[in-house]
Amino acid sequence: MELKHLAIRELVKESEDAPARITDRGGVIPTTEPIANQLFETLNSAFSRRSSLTHGSFNHENEEGYPFISAFESFVNAECNEQSFVELTEKSMSQLAVAINNPSAHTAYGGYVLFAMYASDRYEYMLIALVRDKAGIGFDNDLHPTEVMEINLDQLHQGARINLTTYRKKQDSYLSFIGSKEKGEITHYFSTAFGCTDVTPSRKSTGELIRAARDFCNQNNMSDRKEEVVEDVVSYLSKQRTEKESANLNDIENLFDAYIPPEQAETAAGTFGTFANKGPYNVSQEFQPHTSTINRFAKLKVKADNWSLDFNKRSLGDLNGSKDIEFDEDNGRIIINRLPSKVINQLREALEQED
């Protein structure tokens, strides 16, 4: 990844009833400093680890009500230099102060707002996150323990990431947000400040993608390969989740095109992305795969009074099939084929101990 611009500002809100204010502290941090890249990498990693993201786009129907939108468009359409970056951070801070002063965010507190513009693979991003202090322990000159305050970069209280590349191509879902709990309430003043009113949780995008995959197969003479396709989609989502990368409909569309029968290629190839992005599925163009939702489709755990089985769904099949685990519904049995030698030895030892 290439870090292009980095800035840090401070937003103070000392109590629920106190108004938010922007301090004069902070500003642009030279990206040539090693600590700048270390800070960014930690921040980006913390954002990427979050699976409960919401995704959406700007509310262009009410740009006057959300001044950040026009400021962002000016930034993207002009040369993205340090001056324009600073101007955008100033506008962002103003809108964050307005949003956090809204009664709906009365439980939220301020902190340090970090702005980073960077390039990763074929995409360009803007990452904005709010972090706070945490107490730590250090030593003074006489090696006496003393309390020190450090920035807790691992815990993001609010965050937003904008895919500039996707935005320039006028694709949907170029915005990703995380919210935080403040006294039991979920606050999303970041999405309010940046004019995003049409958001889709990553849990919903992950689940609806699987549903769209099955429906697409049914509608395009691919029913016989439906489970195989779904298995590949789930594997792709699992891989992206493991590598802390977003899932992208373009990638999944390429996966589908490999399965489309030749006679359907002219009408069906290159259409899955649009199919899944529109209603009734409304899958975000780009989203963070949701771990527990993936596991629900990828894994199966069955349990009786004195035993349990936990396995990948792709291992399960009907009786006399080719799967490792066969379900014999008529006789109420599960047959496990091709046991590894290690498992066979464990079972033999267990039986010998009983003797």
The end-to-end CA distance of the chain, in Å, is 61
On average, the pLDDT of the chain sits at 83
Residue closest to 156 by CA, chosen among 134, 175, 171, 141: 134
Give mean pLDDT, residues 38-51. Answer: 82
pLDDT bucket at 51, cuts 50 / 70 / 90: low
Rg (CA), the chain: 25
pLDDT tens digits, one per residue of 95-120: 988 888 888 777 778 889 999 999 98
Pairing status of strand 21-28 against strand 185-187: unpaired
Is the CB of residue 7 less than 8 Å from the CB of residue 26? yes
The reported pLDDT for the residue numbered 261 is: 84
Residue closest to 51 by CA, chosen among 206, 220, 224: 206
Give mean pLDDT, residues 170-190. Answer: 64
- In the chain, where are the structural domains located? 2-194, 203-294, 304-354
| Distance between CA atoms of residues 292 and 261, nearest Å | 32
pTM for the model: 0.62
**Strand (E) or helix (H) holding 318:** strand 316-318
250's CB contacts (< 8 A; 6+ apart) are 273, 285
Is the CB of residue 178 less than 8 Å from the CB of residue 191? no
Token look-up 């006489």 returns 142
Is the CB of residue 155 less than 8 Å from the CB of residue 186? no
The reported pLDDT for the residue numbered 6 is: 94
| Distance between CA atoms of residues 139 and 144, nearest Å | 5
Backbone dihedral region for residue 149 (phi beyond 0: left; psi -120 to 50: alpha; all else: beta): beta
pLDDT bucket at 186, cuts 50 / 70 / 90: very low
pLDDT bucket at 176, cuts 50 / 70 / 90: confident
> Which range is least confidently modeled, 38-47, 84-93, 195-204, 296-305?
195-204
Q: Does residue 62 have a pLDDT over 80?
A: no
| Distance between CA atoms of residues 303 and 305, nearest Å | 7
The reported pLDDT for the residue numbered 9 is: 93
Q: Does residue 52 have a pLDDT over 60?
A: no
